[in-house]
Amino acid sequence: MVPVKVLARAKSRMSASAGPHRQALALAVAADTVAAALRCDRVRDVIVVTDDPVPAAELAALGARVVPDEPDAGLNPALVYGAVRGRELAPDSGVGAISADLPALRPDELARVLDAAAGAPTAFVPDAAGIGTTLYTARPGVPFAPAFGGDSRAAHRARGARELLVPETASVRRDVDTLPDLREALALGCGPRTTAVARLITALHTPA
């Protein structure tokens, strides 16, 4: 599952730096994330959870399945709903949720992380800052109980999920919330949509 915010509210922490390109950046980052996940040979389906028709249409065109944000009670309930839909489609498969803001995501690195995740009932990947979470997984038959938001690294640990620190998988951990995050993602090598929008963001090309 990939949760995608309504674009009007997405990437709010980059309002000043991205300016008029903020919504385009949010959509580009989500599209590059979804495209990379779809190219991963360990991924059977990508389910996008969103109530915004604009990313819904673009991400569906890439090959993702799109479901509404139900029960409209926040991120984690929406992901649980997406997991229910995913298990209806593939009861024998594990399920996972990944952040929508991993524009440098590489399919081979995601595959290595998912292989590692298969060894635990539930598992998660901490973000690059070591506070949040970029990926949470549950094996077939195991309750899917994500705890994204705030200090989700500690929350997932407290729930007994296995923390995965797989070598050479930086693209799975580099989420983008701020301009410095975006610089680091670009240094790793972002997907084409994010790279194109980044060229338009003046703050990226202004000396710090």
| CA distance linking residue 145 with residue 150, whole number of Å | 16
Rounded percentage of the chain residues whose pLDDT exceeds 70: 100
Check the annotation: does 149 bind a ligand. Answer: yes
pLDDT, tens digit (0-9, with 9 covering 90-100), for 99-157 = 999 999 999 999 999 999 999 999 999 999 999 999 999 999 999 999 999 999 999 99
Please report the pLDDT score of residue 72 as a whole number: 82
Rounded percentage of the chain residues whose pLDDT exceeds 90: 95
**Topology, domain 2-205:** Spore Coat Polysaccharide Biosynthesis Protein SpsA; Chain A (3.90.550)
**Token pair for 111:** 């595959």
Please report the pLDDT score of residue 47 as a whole number: 97
**Token pair for 129:** 């800052």
Check the annotation: does 169 bind a ligand. Answer: no
| CA distance linking residue 30 with residue 3, whole number of Å | 9
| CA distance linking residue 71 with residue 75, whole number of Å | 10
Look at 196 and 208; give whichever has higher pLDDT.
196
Check the annotation: does 50 bind a ligand. Answer: no
Which residues does 185 contact at the CB level (< 8 Å), separation at least 6? 102, 103, 104, 174, 176, 194
Mean pLDDT of the region 27-41: 98
Please report the pLDDT score of residue 79 as a whole number: 95
Please report the pLDDT score of residue 5 as a whole number: 93
Please report the pLDDT score of residue 208 as a whole number: 59
Q: In what order do the strands lie in the sheet with 133-138?
A: 95-98, 133-138, 122-126, 162-163
Say whether pLDDT at 61 is over 70.
Answer: yes
**Token pair for 95:** 């399920």
pTM for this model (two decimals): 0.96
Q: What is the mean pLDDT of the chain?
A: 96
Which residues does 32 contact at the CB level (< 8 Å), separation at least 6? 102, 103, 105, 190, 191, 192, 193, 194
Kindly indicate the confidence band of residue 205, based on its pLDDT and cuts at 50, 70 and 90: confident
